[in-house]
Structure 1
Amino acid sequence: MKQPDLTVTSKSLIEVDGFKFKDLNGNGILDAYEDWRLTSEERAKDLVSQMTTDEKVGMMLINQMNMGKAKKEGDNTQVLDEEFEKADGSPMKRRDKYPSTETMERLKLRHFILRDNMPSEDIAEWVNKVNEVAEATRLGIPALIASNSRNENSDVTIEGDKTEGSFSLYPGTLGIAAAVQGELSAGADYTLVEEFAETVRKEWLAAGIRKGYMYMADIVTDPRWQRSYGTFGENPDLVGEIISRLIPGIQGEKLSEDSIAMTIKHFPGGGPRENGFDPHYLAGKWNVYRTPGSLEDYHLPSFTKAVEKNPSSIMPYYSAPSIEKSHWQAIEGEIVPFEEVGMAFNAYMLQTLLRDKLGFKGYVNSDSGVTDNTAWGMEEASVPVRFAKVVNAGTDIIGATNDVGNLKAAVVKNFIAPQRIDQANVRLLKEMFDLGLFDDKTYVDVEAAKAVRLEQAGREKAYEAHLKSVTLLKNEAGLPVGKDKVYVEAFHKNLEKAEKITQNAREVAKELGISLVDDYKEAETAILFLQPESGDYFNATPGLLELEICEDKTNIAMNGDTYKETTLSNYKRFEKIADEMRAAGKTVVASVNITLPWILGNVEPKVDILIAGYDTFLKAQLEVLIGNYQPKGKLPLTLPKNTAVIAVDEHGVCVSRNDVPGYDKDKYFREGMTYAYEDTSGNVYKFGYGLTK
């Protein structure tokens, strides 16, 4: 048995049987939870037996914690953020935020979500300071730092391959899926996914972030769902295979001190939206299963594959299953008893389906704010009753809240059995013990974190994935394009951002030896980067999300009012450039950034060459266009033909099934109607499509 290398900052080490242990509760004797020779289960149960109600309640909440050095105003030289911030009702500030030390000492929280983007060594320094505070408390329970995924590019105004950022940046998850499909179609395997997973694990471990809210096993079935960009697309088999490799690659075959604990989301799948409306808002409250068997056939298979790999936790979605708007569903022949409450409150979904049928052994982590403004089905209940409902249903930790008072009230009023509180705490603490946080992984090496940040191997693999993700949709003019007299411009909903992307694209083009002109009228080739956006993730869209690439289109809001929707503020300029250049016999190339399944009828007919990126580096796209790399990517989802195939009638029913992937929607259309976009060359933009020349 090997002695761990133990470090303490405020407590002492004690020696028993020739081994050293941390005396975390300061009593001078070796308690079972301090004994690294015991199983994590034994240690967790012993610790729970010593915890007060306040400590147990604090353990069951996870909230955002900021880094002092990440502040934009005030003193940003301090490692910890010790400022109080009053709640303002916004999604990220639903409740008062207390100083970091007070949050750990008085509120007893030990799980924290990090959203700040800082160099790895600064994150490591912050993690250490957080754990110094935690160690000094009564029982010395360490902190566990969680984060949403960090290794996918999300902003092409900054080329991640040219920076020394903390984390290697792959294309967006849709781009990873596009690249993987290209590899598979060429006879390769899932090596790209495995390399991605190893990069994530290594970089996160060095920084001290030990829990990942990732990845999404959800299947895109409603094209207007704004969270499509975080998925691996619409095919359950592909998504399941990717997820089943990410879990062992990032977390390991079993949880250990070298793991990043993964939280797979959003059970049982967030794809079957009602016309795309997101459950962050009332309009998106429901999961709608219109099609017989859709839950079992399309939405559960990827989660089944995930559970087989033993993820540390699962995150249920906000939404509730609708009885009135759905067709009855069955799992293995047994009818699903839809209870119209959010999935985190839903005992059938979490206990019967997730644990009993699928065999899940980890803990359940709710999404953010389920006891506040997204308590669907529990809106009329008091907050303590909401806490009781969510915990009794099988949720072990509640996301993005520090509301210890209302959870404690539910416990004190006997709304929740003490055994259930203990069960949740054992599950949560077992993860901490498995990760080594109580022993030799409490603190991280700041210099080692910096060294990992400066390594190039991960960035090289990531850039290769960018190249592989580029999807050639149309090639009438023939690749490669000429490098002389090239005009480059970007188009975006935000004109200032469009200008930044344009500048970046021009700089990269020059690096690749492309000769640029400043006026498209002087060009032989125009390369036009389209970065459409629709709606706003943190603000409910007045009506249906717009998928046409357009400028100032008049739409109708849910209350009947008209409003203007724009996906590209400078679309008319794109149209002018494309039309004039083609009329003059010049070549027009367009790249469309696929974060949603855009309708391309306003773009494709106007260009000679069309490619798709997925938050793919501009440099990688240009390398494909000039012939430095052969296109390989394949569409991870089907692009709709036009607005008619996603039209919604006066009763709110969409002509195409919201719960069926694009590649299968034709099965449920009237005869003669098809869903996928067909271009002027006869190519059909369906899942898996992509040219190689």
Structure 2
Amino acid sequence: MCALYGIQSLPRLVLVSFLVSLAACSSAASHPAESHSTLPAYRNASLCVDERVDDLLSRMTLEEKAGQMFHTQIFTGPNGTFDPGDPSQNRASTIDRVTTKFMTHFNVAFSTASTKDTAEFVNRLQRLALGTRLGIPITLSTDPRHAFHDNVAAGFSAGDFSQWPENIGLAAIRDAKLVRKFGEIAREEYTAIGIRVSLHPQVDLTTEPRWARTNHGFGEDAQLTATLLDAYVRGFQGDTFGAHSVSTVTKHFPGGGPAANGEDSHFEYGQNSSYPGNNFEYHLIPFKAAIAAGTRQMMPYYSRPQGTQFDAVGWAFNKQIITQLLREELGFDGIVVTDWSIITGSGAGGEWVPARAWGVQELSESERALLVLNAGCDQFGGEERPDLIVDLVHRGLVSEERIDQSVRRLLREKFLLGLFENPFVDVQAAQQIIGNAYFRKLGDQAQRRAYTLLTNNNSILPLNHNTNTKFYIEGFNKTYMENRNLTLVDTPAQADYALLRLNAPYEPRNNTLIETFFHAGSLEYPEAEKQRQAGIYAAVPTIVDILLDRPAVVPEVAGSAAALLGSYGSSADAFLDVVFGVAKPEGKLPFDLPRSMQAVEDNMEDVPFDTRDPVFRFGFGLAYPDSCAGASGGACFS
């Protein structure tokens, strides 16, 4: 049946609204192709998407098809110019990637450029693509970029975008309507700058509390995750997928949460997923919900299974997982893009990282690529080696029909997103839309709502204070206090109250550059740090805010601090608003907080809520009194 092609208007969320034409799919009788004789069929917007895809595919060389199957990061050169490339990192120049390798899918890495500069770069890139033989537009994607965490391998801090808590904070709020609103806002900000694919949501269930990717997911409860990701996908894609949409890549199928010993599979020492509780099916629940919600793409993780009926190779190499389970059993017919650099490796910050080809390290690059294609994947993430695919076809190891199967999916997505009609962005509109006051206000409110009040001895919070109250602070800049005309002192002994903002405990690792971005290892503070904090708690009533990017083993903080708050990505102003009653904490824990590392080590990686006798259980969170009065003049709630 002929696929409908429709371009929907963007939701009116900001000052600028967009009207674009709706071109319905019509039969050749009602819209004869001869009336568009000057256009190739794939350029004719009055034709069905499937007709246009078939026409374009028929015109493509094998080399042009192979280029579509690679999706890697793109950088800007000096002053917004094209990246000249780096042969030492096996990175071709942007011009070569587009014009010689025929690549048209890129993950944007502009974390510091202004909106104006980025928009102008995007238009320059699209003009480069338009000048190629077939003029296939670029599809731009991004890792999460609306929160605080900055990790070159997993997500970017917000920059010019509105700033929200991490996904784990949205899970603490437990408001599906808010998650849908976030998705709509992120969609409008993305499309304004030309980003049409979100390399998220991450829906892995964090049943292993040490796993370093916890902050980008929705916690360890499968049903809560399923509910929130449904709203997330619909927010990004809209009610009807089309030119207003951002295509979602749900990851990491079939679940990266059961990480053996909590170690992440970006690293060889964390390559295994472990299922001692035989709980594999539990981790599929969010992915089934994502398929029901209409997610367009899926990304398998690096890890390889241990203790299951599946072959012990990385998920993207595994035909049992991609073809038999995802496609045949679960009925997913969308795009499957691999996680980054599983074939040839990659360069990061001048450092070469070998391929994350767990279970098939002994195979050649060509053999790995063949295994990925045979497994049923469509696109290679973090790679730029279309020559491998061309060679496999020439050697008769892969048919061109198999290549066409994947390229058809990838091209169809471009047509549905309206990129062939208008790949460019409005530079002025982008500056009005991205990070506008309304979007920032909603993000700021969510940061405050996500706060989880864990202890509140003698109802010390919200904090009463006056102009004579003295504060000792750690973990944030003193200007935030000075802007509120609050008095600071140098030591806890001089203070009436201490305010501490702490990171959750982790073990710093720096064997490689990328390791420095992952918080892994122990969930408890070293003994010296425990003693240092204990001295503060003994000297002065102390309010502690711990950034829970992972669960924390902090019973000593819960027992000694005057009040303990958990946060999931928030500004210093958000923290102070909660402390002084200008805002109230609404969050509920999205995971258990264990009592000891022994309990963590004894838990089964694939089973939720099985750490023995946690200090605080999933769903715990105190509230402020219905009415209160802070001497600060902050509004307590009635």
Q: Which TM-score band applies after superposition, normalised by the shorter structure?
A: 0.7 to 0.9
Identity percentage over the alignment? 31
Shift of the 580–543 alpha-carbon distance from structure 1 to 2, 3 Å rule, reads closer
Q: Letter of the aligned partner of 1:132 in structure 2?
A: R
Shift of the 469–206 alpha-carbon distance from structure 1 to 2, 3 Å rule, reads same
Shift of the 437–543 alpha-carbon distance from structure 1 to 2, 3 Å rule, reads closer
Shift of the 260–29 alpha-carbon distance from structure 1 to 2, 3 Å rule, reads same
Render the CA deviation track for 1:112-155: whole Å, top value 9, x for unaligned.
Answer: 11121222222221111111110111111111111101112227
Q: Letter of the aligned partner of 2:290 in structure 1?
A: A
> Match for residue 468 of structure 1?
449
How many Å separate the matches in 2 of 1:426 and 1:358? 21
Task: Spell out the pairing of 1:539-550 with structure 2 (5 A cutoff).
Answer: 539=515, 545-550=521-526
CA positional deviation for 1:255: 2.1
How many Å separate the matches in 1 of 2:257 and 2:6? 47
> Match for residue 606 of structure 1?
560
> Match for residue 332 of structure 1?
none
How many Å separate the matches in 1 of 2:33 and 2:332? 39
Aligned residue for 2:622, secondary structure, equals coil
Aligned residue for 1:308, secondary structure, equals helix
> Match for residue 210 of structure 2?
224
Shift of the 382–593 alpha-carbon distance from structure 1 to 2, 3 Å rule, reads same
Render the CA deviation track for 1:593-649: whole Å, top value 9, x for unaligned.
Answer: 1011110034222211111111222211211111222221111111111012123xx
> Match for residue 312 of structure 2?
340
Render the CA deviation track for 1:667-687: whole Å, top value 9, x for unaligned.
Answer: xxxxxxx2412xxxxxxx111
Render the CA deviation track for 1:301-339: whole Å, top value 9, x for unaligned.
Answer: 1111001112111000111112xxx2x5xxxxxxxx411
CA positional deviation for 1:2: 10
State whether residues 350 and 394 of structure 1, in contact with CA within 8 Å, keep that contact through their aligned partners in structure 2: yes
State whether residues 552 and 594 of structure 2, in contact with CA within 8 Å, keep that contact through their aligned partners in structure 1: yes
> Match for residue 87 of structure 2?
86
1:405 to 366, 387, 390: 387
Q: Letter of the aligned partner of 1:147 in structure 2?
A: T
1:422 paired with 2:394, answer no
Shift of the 155–527 alpha-carbon distance from structure 1 to 2, 3 Å rule, reads farther
> Match for residue 268 of structure 1?
254
> Match for residue 576 of structure 1?
535
How many Å separate the matches in 2 of 1:603 and 1:2? 56
- Structure 1: 4+ residue segments shifted above 6 A: 1-6, 16-21, 540-544
Bigger drift between 45-54 and 533-542 goes to 533-542
> Match for residue 215 of structure 1?
201
2:493 to 521, 527, 536: 521
Shift of the 515–20 alpha-carbon distance from structure 1 to 2, 3 Å rule, reads farther
How many Å separate the matches in 2 of 1:289 and 1:589? 39
State whether residues 219 and 590 of structure 2, in contact with CA within 8 Å, keep that contact through their aligned partners in structure 1: yes
How many Å separate the matches in 2 of 1:512 and 1:540? 35
State TM-score, norm by structure 2: 0.86
Render the CA deviation track for 1:487-546: whole Å, top value 9, x for unaligned.
Answer: 2433xxxxxxxxxx432xx32233345333333222111111112343448229999711
State whether residues 637 and 686 of structure 1, in contact with CA within 8 Å, keep that contact through their aligned partners in structure 2: yes
State TM-score, norm by structure 1: 0.79
Task: Spell out the pairing of 1:487-526 with structure 2 (5 A cutoff).
Answer: 487-490=471-474, 501-503=475-477, 506-526=478-498
> Match for residue 72 of structure 1?
none
Q: Letter of the aligned partner of 1:122 in structure 2?
A: D
State whether residues 345 and 393 of structure 1, in contact with CA within 8 Å, keep that contact through their aligned partners in structure 2: yes
How many Å separate the matches in 2 of 1:418 and 1:590? 60
> Match for residue 687 of structure 1?
618
State whether residues 191 and 246 of structure 2, in contact with CA within 8 Å, keep that contact through their aligned partners in structure 1: yes
> Match for residue 507 of structure 2?
534
Task: Spell out the pairing of 1:13-28 with structure 2 (5 A cutoff).
Answer: none
2:603 to 644, 649, 656: 656
Q: Letter of the aligned partner of 2:244 in structure 1?
A: D
Q: Letter of the aligned partner of 1:518 in structure 2?
A: D
1:134 to 122, 129, 132: 129
Shift of the 20–130 alpha-carbon distance from structure 1 to 2, 3 Å rule, reads farther
> Match for residue 317 of structure 1?
301
Structure 2, gaps ≥5 residues long: 8-18, 22-30, 152-156, 345-354, 625-638
1:51 paired with 2:46, answer no
Task: Spell out the pairing of 1:233-244 with structure 2 (5 A cutoff).
Answer: 233-244=219-230
State whether residues 120 and 206 of structure 1, in contact with CA within 8 Å, keep that contact through their aligned partners in structure 2: no
> Match for residue 163 of structure 2?
169
1:107 paired with 2:81, answer no
Number of equivalences: 577
> Match for residue 299 of structure 1?
283
State whether residues 212 and 518 of structure 2, in contact with CA within 8 Å, keep that contact through their aligned partners in structure 1: no
Render the CA deviation track for 1:457-494: whole Å, top value 9, x for unaligned.
Answer: 1111111101110110001131222334342433xxxx
State whether residues 195 and 461 of structure 1, in contact with CA within 8 Å, keep that contact through their aligned partners in structure 2: no
Render the CA deviation track for 1:1-50: whole Å, top value 9, x for unaligned.
Answer: 999979xxxxxxxxx979997xxxxxx73222111112222211221111
State whether residues 175 and 616 of structure 1, in contact with CA within 8 Å, keep that contact through their aligned partners in structure 2: no
CA positional deviation for 1:408: 2.2
Q: Letter of the aligned partner of 1:676 in structure 2?
A: P
Aligned residue for 2:339, secondary structure, equals strand
State whether residues 226 and 278 of structure 1, in contact with CA within 8 Å, keep that contact through their aligned partners in structure 2: yes
Aligned residue for 1:266, secondary structure, equals strand
How many Å separate the matches in 2 of 1:357 and 1:421? 23
Render the CA deviation track for 1:338-360: whole Å, top value 9, x for unaligned.
Answer: 11111111111111211122221
Task: Spell out the pairing of 1:186-201 with structure 2 (5 A cutoff).
Answer: 189-201=175-187
State whether residues 451 and 565 of structure 2, in contact with CA within 8 Å, keep that contact through their aligned partners in structure 1: yes
**CA RMSD of superposed structures (Å):** 2.6
CA positional deviation for 1:572: 4.7
Shift of the 399–633 alpha-carbon distance from structure 1 to 2, 3 Å rule, reads same
Shift of the 202–56 alpha-carbon distance from structure 1 to 2, 3 Å rule, reads same
Bigger drift between 349-358 and 206-215 goes to 349-358
1:287 paired with 2:273, answer yes
